[in-house]
Structure 1
């Protein structure tokens, strides 16, 4: 059903045995922690829009820029030969084969308005394959993380949702909820900032809403994907995501047992991103295809 197979996760430890993966995970977690502290504690009372991107409501604040500089600076100090792809402009090829994909503030509008649903998303990839993903959610006190083949884990917070399993010394290992029927599914989604795209996304949501338990729109794709991993959502879909929006979260969801992808047989992408418990994935993917959720 998807070109992103679900690996068999580790059962006893969140620490990867591969020294490279252990290094990448440790650096991503520390960079995410530092950026989270900066964003949480350094937010000015008079925070304003620094500039806009795709439209007048697609905003960037000075804190987005500062957080990306902190993250890329920290990672470059420890791994100077790696490449970068960042939402706020960081772009370099590198020579090591490893590239960091960084969203320094996923949920900028929430952050601008003082809402708590925002995150820092950091992924490390090699040869186009995401190896490590970290999503820091400072106002929840949570850090989600995964290494390819090593399971998905949650540190901090009040609990990991219905699918969390407590493990001593390794945080809480995450697992998706048992698959419901579509009519009992709680589904997350998001909307883009281009007028025509938003109008069509509203039409798709209008068609989906009577068919599911309910729809949630949180405002941070990275958190929504992690909430699928934690059993807080049964599924999440969205059109228009960028690599930095989805790289870490898709890995975390998949390592928790979700199926992930886009249109049938294709990986998650800007065209369409979908993560769902295995028994729900195909049904929801079929509905989204029929509804044209993959185009504007």
Structure 2
């Protein structure tokens, strides 16, 4: 099987993410004018979905199918899943940060990655509200609108600004909140933005020193993980028992921040 042209995959991901972002901006304007966008919930009441999520995923699925009909596809809303025959799979979050979107909080994005058996080849996180596009190519670095990205070099936890988030299940959220309360006394501070893909993109850009969250799905981190590693950072998948079940997380940041948080996690008893 021929090696894929990464520049073509990158350009397709960027163009598709930006087109979906423009469509979502239109939905955001409608919502601000009073349209409820068919708001519904999925796994729990804290896990919403709307007409905007579904429309953005359909748009992305259509564009990718037109350009790459034999590739696989995995999307959060599950409208166009396919296995593919090329060894490549697109992993899509059409609207990461739906709660923020529905409340008019300008912290949401489109996340698109293309992966092979070794992980993501290209990753794009597009933030329409700030008109920022974060792009990474395996072995080719990471950029924001053409400017190179680099993770920070926070050397100790007390100098580390950590981004996190909370899973949808209530018991998992409660246990992780207890952990975060402990973490607050150890690190510089903790931020909760509400969009995992943005958290990872901002970690790659040095806006956070590290990111740690449990209970994520592949579309939450497929693009962001590549952004961090191509920006010189480290990403691992720790497991922690929360809400009575083992939960796999994502830990990302510069080497010292990553290792410091890994050691902190390793010293805490499971719930």
When normalised by structure 1's length, the TM-score is 0.84
Residue 219 (structure 1) aligns with:
194
Matched, 1:289 2:235: no
Q: Which residue of the partner structure matches residue 209 of structure 2?
A: 234
Partners of 2:183 and 2:216 in 1: how far apart? 20
In 2, the alpha carbon distance for the partners of 1:178 and 1:32 equals 30
Identify the residue that residue 70 of structure 1 maps to in structure 2. 59
Give structure 2 stretches of 5+ with no counterpart: 240-245
Which residue of 2 is the match for residue 37 of structure 1?
Answer: 22
Change (3 A) 1:87 1:255: same
Q: How does 1:60-209 map to 2 (within 5 A)?
A: 60-89=49-78, 90-155=80-145, 171-209=146-184
Q: CA RMSD in A?
A: 1.7
SS of the residue corresponding to residue 287 of structure 1 reads: helix
- Whole-angstrom CA distance in 2 between matches of 1:234 and 1:77: 39
Q: 1:245 aligns with which of 215, 220, 224?
A: 220
> Which residue does the alignment assign to 1:27?
12
State the TM-score, normalized to the length of structure 2: 0.91
Are residues 270 and 174 of structure 1, via their aligned partners in 2, closer, same or farther at CA, if it must alter by over 3 Å? farther
1:100 partner SS: strand
Q: CA 1:19–1:125 in structure 2 vs 1: closer, same or farther (change >3 Å)?
A: closer
SS at match of 1:248: helix
Residue 69 of structure 1 and its aligned partner are, at CA, apart by: 0.2
Moved over 6 A (4+): none
What is the CA distance between 1:270 and its match in structure 2? 6.0
Structure 1: any 5+ residue segments left out of the alignment? 1-17, 156-170
